[in-house]
Structure 1
Amino acid sequence: MQKCIKCNRRFGWREIFKSYKWNYGPLECDNCCTIHKITIFGRCTIAFLALLPFLIVQFFLIPTDHIFLTLGGTGLMATVGFLLSPYVVRYKEGS
């Protein structure tokens, strides 16, 4: 989980996830008021974690004729990947 660059305060999952709203807004440390912005690599990581499970389930694990099973499984896996993204996404100090 990401920490503040200046004071090493650990950001919570909810704080990071809320920063995804409105085009990946900045994340502000409550202790030292340092602004952190998501990196381009961090944005790609979020997309990758949402799309990779979707593609794996869609093309390799559930190649069946049951469209609802396929869509439900892929939607579930994409949601899980998106919800796990705050643990791996990185921020940098911004202005």
Structure 2
Amino acid sequence: MQKCKNCNTQFRWSTIYKSFWWGYKPIKCENCNAEHRIIVRGRIIFVSLTILPMLVFGFFLSPFDSAFATICVGTAILIIGSLFTPYLVKFRKADQSSYFN
């Protein structure tokens, strides 16, 4: 799990997770109020673990004849993939110049 670049306080899993679902909202450190933003590579990781597996299953790998079953399993894949993203996605301090690192 990522830590604040200022004070080395670890971000909470729930704070990072909520950031994804609110349009990649910046995270503020609870200790020093430093703002951290998701990097581009982090957005790609998030989509790769959530949206892409769901779409691949729904369009190519679904063994179900029922659209409802396919949608339910695809949604479950999206949720399960999203639970792992806070451990893999990185943020940078808002005043750092590079958006990609």
Larger helix fraction of residues: 1
Deviates more, 1:19-28 or 1:66-75: 19-28
Q: In structure 1, what is the equivalent of residue 98 of structure 2? A: none
**Within 2, Cα distance between the matches of 1:81 and 1:44?**
13
Structure 1: unaligned runs, 5 residues or longer: none
- RMSD (Å) for aligned C-alpha atoms: 1.7
Q: In structure 2, what is the equivalent of residue 67 of structure 1? A: 67
Percent identity over the alignment is 37
Q: In structure 1, what is the equivalent of residue 47 of structure 2? A: 47
- Could you say what secondary structure the match of 1:36 adopts? strand
Measured against aligned partners, the alpha-carbon deviations of 1:63-95 in whole angstroms (never above 9, x if no partner) come to 331222222111110121123211111100113
How many matched pairs?
A: 94
Distance 1:52 1:91, change over 3 A: same
Q: List structure 1 segments (4+ residues) > 6 angstroms apart after TM superposition.
A: none
